[in-house]
């Protein structure tokens, strides 16, 4: 009788989570495959069943594939043996990744195929001849090291491509726990890079092990609950997964997941930067020289570093100058520089004009500012500048409308606004107001009202005067005004235009809100901004601007026939449309 794989007891044991669950499931599959081998008359020598990939790492999740090789010595017949093992696996409804080869054939494939090369790095004996499994593991590891430069280069490309395709685990509403930036595959890639001779910086190994367990536990529970091979944690599954992991609230769980993924992404980014530097070779690196950027800051080998003589403990603006330099050059900040910046003297209250100018310039750099803020926050350097950030850090917005966590949404919106500064008179108020528009989220009460109150404290601390503070509060108070009015009310109605004009009160504020609306919408999600909405907001802004410039509401809403454009066409006295 063919042995059966009974996984139900383990699947129902919710006390087994993360790596503990994966290890027990892998052991259970080991025993089952060993029984299949024995029942099929599998030999003790000349052939072997070897686990590879995730199964080789003893990391089977409820929906994982089983990846195995049936290795055999030349002239050994294993066709019948293979069928006796493969078919029971398929009968269990398990997806099987399998191959029947000699060790030599497997190594030949691994010499030119990255997926095979990484799979055999976790080769583990299951049944049959242990010498074949050991030969594959030892020679596979040796082959990996010999071709390390090629594999590191190819993995670097793949890592970046995967991140581009799958997004970030830490900041997305529905993260891909395996393939996203900060996901499980990043840790696998780090491990493979270590096997190729790279090493992690002090403290990083322990940090990613702890973070990995958080992400792995989420994946195990997701697949246990859905019964599917799924790696994307959909919004509709988050409450159940959260409860299964012992969290009282899904928001708390998603915040813990985000924090763990940030750690993995940080360590991964650091490692792959050093991989790229090592692949450049020492000769190329020696040709580079320090390029002085701002006072106390240089760009060195593609990274931002402190210049000789820089003293963070006596220079409260140094961290901002480092941040601005990194954003302007779209460059990473050296790890040693980040460590030294921890000594930084706090900014004075209120901020000086220089501090405020540097803060604004950081976000005027656009998209690179997002990663700079993430880097500073990862190392504890952002919260001293912006204490209110602690409440929104990694805090999810669990609705289908928003794509990002609150902190990432604000950074994305501020970066978007940098491309719209030509629309406004005060670029500084645009980027800061955009950064602050949702600062009230994550606290009790209406987030807009809370945000207005917070800005009354934040803006003066940043050195903005009373008039600018009022404008920043207006931007927060009315950040939804233009979009909501344009899409929900009649733009030809005098009352609509009068209402918005009275609310906004000035052309300066109207222009700021116009740019904020677009920047905010683009950072919200793909459904939040499009040509239809852009056109409606544009019509509303033009009509309100007419009124705020001294024109009448009646003129602003006059859309009667013929319009000036139509009069121009009539004056041409020619046929426009043939019917």
Question: What confidence tens digit (pLDDT) does each residue in 495-516 have?
Answer: 999 999 999 989 999 999 999 9
**Please, are residues 302 and 414 in contact by the beta-carbon 8 Å criterion?**
no
pLDDT at 572: 74
Give the HSE-up count for residue 435: Cα atoms under 13 Å, Cβ half-sphere: 25
pLDDT at 4: 80
Of the candidate ranges 60-69, 241-250, 286-295, the one whose mean pLDDT is the lowest: 286-295
Of the candidate ranges 188-202, 527-541, 545-559, the one whose mean pLDDT is the lowest: 545-559
Residues 332-337, mean pLDDT to the nearest whole number: 96
Give the rounded percent of residues in the chain with a pLDDT score beyond 70: 95
pLDDT at 293: 85
Question: What confidence tens digit (pLDDT) does each residue in 151-172 have?
Answer: 999 999 999 999 999 999 999 9
Measure the CA–CA gap between 120 and 115, rounded to whole angstroms: 9
Q: Which CATH number applies to 8-146?
A: 3.30.460.10
Residues 132-149, mean pLDDT to the nearest whole number: 97
pLDDT at 574: 74
Within a 10 A sphere around the Cβ of 280, how many other Cβ atoms?
14
State the virtual CA torsion across 443, 446, 452, 458 in degrees, nearest 10: 10
Q: Kindly tell me if the per-residue pLDDT of 528 is higher than 90.
A: no
pLDDT at 238: 97
Q: Kindly tell me if the per-residue pLDDT of 229 is higher than 80.
A: yes
Residues 83-99, mean pLDDT to the nearest whole number: 94
pLDDT: is 391 or 572 the higher one?
A: 391
Phi, psi of 178 (to 5 degrees): -95, -50
pLDDT at 417: 98
Q: How confident is the model at residue 386 (pLDDT cuts 50, 70, 90)?
A: very high
Question: What confidence tens digit (pLDDT) does each residue in 423-439 have?
Answer: 999 999 999 999 999 99
Q: How confident is the model at residue 525 (pLDDT cuts 50, 70, 90)?
A: confident
Question: What confidence tens digit (pLDDT) does each residue in 264-293 have?
Answer: 999 999 999 999 988 886 655 554 567 878
pLDDT at 579: 47
Q: Which CATH number applies to 150-286?
A: 1.20.120.330
Domain boundaries, the chain: 8-146, 150-286
Q: Kindly tell me if the per-residue pLDDT of 570 is higher than 90.
A: no
What average pLDDT does the structure give for the chain?
93
**Please, are residues 271 and 279 in contact by the beta-carbon 8 Å criterion?**
no
**Please, are residues 544 and 510 in contact by the beta-carbon 8 Å criterion?**
yes
Q: Kindly tell me if the per-residue pLDDT of 398 is higher than 90.
A: no
């Amino acid at each position: 009788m063919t042995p059966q794989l009974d996984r139900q007891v383990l699947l129902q044991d919710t006390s087994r989570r993360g790596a503990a669950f994966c290890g027990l499931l892998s052991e259970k599959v080991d025993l089952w495959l060993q029984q299949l081998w024995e029942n099929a008359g599998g030999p003790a020598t000349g052939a072997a069943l070897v686990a590879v990939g995730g199964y080789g790492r003893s990391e089977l999740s409820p929906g994982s594939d089983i990846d195995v090789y049936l290795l055999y010595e030349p002239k050994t017949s294993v066709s019948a043996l293979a069928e006796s093992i493969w078919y029971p696996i398929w009968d269990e409804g398990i997806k099987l990744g399998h191959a029947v080869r000699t060790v030599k054939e497997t190594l030949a494939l691994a010499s030119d195929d990255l997926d095979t090369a990484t799979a055999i790095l976790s080769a583990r004996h299951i049944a049959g001849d242990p010498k074949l499994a050991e030969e594959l593991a030892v020679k596979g590891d040796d082959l990996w090291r010999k071709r390390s430069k090629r594999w590191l280069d190819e993995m670097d490309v793949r890592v970046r491509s995967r991140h581009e395709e799958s997004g970030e685990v830490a900041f997305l509403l529905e993260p891909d726990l395996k393939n996203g930036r900060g996901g499980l595959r990043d840790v696998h890639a780090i491990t493979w890079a270590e096997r190729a001779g790279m090493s992690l910086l002090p403290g990083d190994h322990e940090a990613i092990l702890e973070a990995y367990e958080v992400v792995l536990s989420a994946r195990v529970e997701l697949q246990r609950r859905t019964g599917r091979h799924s790696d994307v944690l959909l919004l509709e599954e988050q409450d159940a997964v959260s409860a299964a992991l012992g969290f009282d609230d899904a928001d708390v769980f998603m915040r813990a997941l985000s924090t763990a993924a940030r750690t993995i992404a940080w360590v991964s980014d650091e490692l792959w930067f050093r991989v790229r530097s090592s692949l450049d070779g020492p000769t190329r690196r020696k040709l580079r020289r320090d390029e002085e950027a701002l006072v106390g800051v240089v760009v060195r080998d593609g990274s931002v570093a402190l210049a000789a003589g820089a003293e963070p403990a006596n220079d409260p603006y140094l961290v901002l100058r480092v941040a601005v330099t990194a954003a302007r050059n779209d460059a990473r900040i050296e790890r040693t520089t980040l460590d030294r910046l921890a000594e930084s003297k706090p900014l004075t209250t209120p901020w000086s004009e220089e501090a405020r100018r540097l803060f604004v310039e950081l976000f005027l750099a656009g998209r690179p500012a997002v990663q700079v803020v993430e880097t500073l926050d990862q190392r504890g350097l952002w919260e001293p500048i912006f204490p209110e950030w602690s409440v929104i850090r990694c805090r999810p917005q669990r609705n289908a409308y928003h794509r990002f966590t609150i902190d990432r949404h604000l950074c994305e919106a501020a970066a978007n606004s940098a491309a719209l500064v030509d629309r406004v008179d005060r670029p500084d108020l645009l980027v800061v107001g955009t950064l602050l528009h949702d600062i009230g989220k994550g606290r009790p009460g209406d987030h807009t009202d809370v945000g207005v109150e917070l800005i009354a404290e934040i803006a003066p601390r940043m050195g903005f005067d009373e008039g600018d503070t009022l404008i920043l509060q207006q931007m927060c108070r009315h950040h939804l005004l233009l979009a909501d009015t344009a899409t929900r009310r009649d733009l030809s109605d005098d009352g609509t235009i009068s209402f918005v004009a009275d609310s906004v009160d000035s052309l300066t504020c109207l222009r700021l809100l116009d740019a904020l609306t677009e920047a905010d919408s683009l950072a919200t999600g793909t459904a939040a901004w499009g040509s239809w909405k852009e056109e409606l907001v544009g019509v509303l802004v033009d009509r309100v601007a007419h009124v705020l410039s001294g024109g009448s509401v009646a003129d602003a809403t006059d859309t009667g026939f013929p319009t000036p454009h139509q009069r121009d066409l009539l004056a041409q006295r020619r046929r426009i449309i043939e019917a």
